[in-house]
Amino acid sequence: MRGVGRGPAPPNWTNNVAAVVVLGVLILGGGIVYFLAQTVFALQRGSVPAALTAGGLAVFCCGFGGALAVTVLTSAKRYADCSDAGTTVRVHPAIAWSYGIASLGGVVGSACYIAFVSFGTTELPLTTPGRETVNRYLMISLLVLSLAGLAALIKRRETGYLQLGPDAVESADLLRTRTTRWDDIVDVIDKAHRQTRNPIVLVVKDAKPVVIPNADRYASSGGALYWMVRHYWKHPEYRDELTDGRALERLRNEQFDAQ
């Protein structure tokens, strides 16, 4: 399992698995077992609508389960790079593929459910008597979210990166890209006002803080990435290292002082 690194961890970072992650694992595990079983039963009955619906929802749960496993268990060190723009660390690309598979499964499962229920089919997963309206709205919500997720992945091609350049810090996720000039940053801290696991927080003058959540995912560099950001914020005279590979090598060797 990934940790926060060999060196000193930021004071407010933790190696502990969050309760919401444990809950997510339990829910996804239950969903995988349930929908796979429903798919098998539907195939045995020869019910194509039920098989498509259950199979799509099983793929949805498996995709998110895969993304969670990659996030927690694997290293992304080889996906960091350096260029004239700066040093860039990325989330493991397998996470984007997992999200894409999950979103595709969500589209198939929810669309089939909505379509077949509209035609009066009753032999479907989640067609609990008395909950048809609630389940239909849940499937409509899943369809919208899955389509939005697929569109964002097609546009972005990755789930996130953090780039430290000579003049600015650029952070991106599925929804947006934010660029913050070093000169506008008044502090770099490791705790957000809201509940966010292992963040890097850029405190910006006259603006809202820029919160980079789960920063230990980026290149699996652990707490060294936090100390790296603080180092180049405090020492602009060393920012030329960000474009020639020296900063990346120091990050990989965790050669930043905890200060």
* Residue 143 pLDDT grade (very low, low, confident, very high; cuts 50, 70, 90): very high
Write the CATH number for 202: 2.30.29
Question: What is the reported pLDDT for 130?
Answer: 62
Ranking 22-26, 130-134, 152-156, 241-245 by mean pLDDT, the lowest is: 130-134
Asked if pLDDT for residue 194 goes beyond 80, the answer is: no
Q: Cα dist. 2→60, 201, 217 in Å?
A: 25, 21, 9
Q: Which one, of 201, 220, 212, 163, lies nearest residue 5 by Cα?
A: 220
184 and 76 in a common domain: no
Give yes or no for residue 38 having a pLDDT over 80: yes
Say yes or no: 75 and 145 in one domain.
Answer: yes
Query: Last residue of a domain, which of 156, 176, 198?
Result: 156
At 122 the pLDDT is 65
- Cβ 154 vs Cβ 97: under 8 Å: no
**Given 156, 172, 189, which residue is the final one in a domain?**
156
Q: With a cut of 90, say whether residue 184 has pLDDT above it.
A: yes
pTM of the model: 0.81
Q: Is residue 222 over pLDDT 80?
A: no
Calpha distance 185→234 (Å, rounded)? 10
Q: Who contacts 39 (Cβ-Cβ below 8 Å, separation ≥6)? A: 51, 54, 55, 58
Q: Is residue 7 part of a domain?
A: no
Average pLDDT of the residues in 229-252: 94
pLDDT digits (tens, 9 = 90+) for 11-30: 888 777 666 677 878 888 99
